[in-house]
Amino acid sequence: MNGGGWNMSAQPPYEKLSAVESHSEAMAFIEESDPRDYNLGTWVMNVKPPGWVDGFAIFHGKVTTVSFADGHGEIHKWTEPTVINAAIDFANGKPDFYWSGGNAKNKDFQWVYQRYKHKKWAPL
């Protein structure tokens, strides 16, 4: 969770599963595509200020597989064109880090932010 400690002062990662609040809403893994092939296995976003960082994998249509701290998994369908375009870029090997639309007005960003839990998590 939280990409191995990305931006530790704003979003410190949980160190124990027992400390995670709302297990069923806390993303543990997300299907990712990193065109650089060296950052696979971590995924992050910014919370202060809010914004996208890494892309998602959308190898099976406009959806991404997400697993949660309670063990369940979901397939999430993306709706915002900026998110879909960035994910297509990543899937095609084009780095598109920090794409626009990472804010409270973006429904996909809201969905991810709500599930991107860390010790200092607070609503958007």
Q: Which pLDDT tens digit goes with each residue over 54-106?
A: 888 888 889 999 999 999 999 999 999 999 999 888 888 888 889 899 999 99
pTM (two decimals): 0.90
Residue/partner pairs of 75-83 with CB below 8 Å, 24 or more apart: 76/111, 78/108, 79/107, 79/108, 80/106, 80/107, 80/108, 80/109, 82/106, 83/52, 83/56, 83/108, 83/109
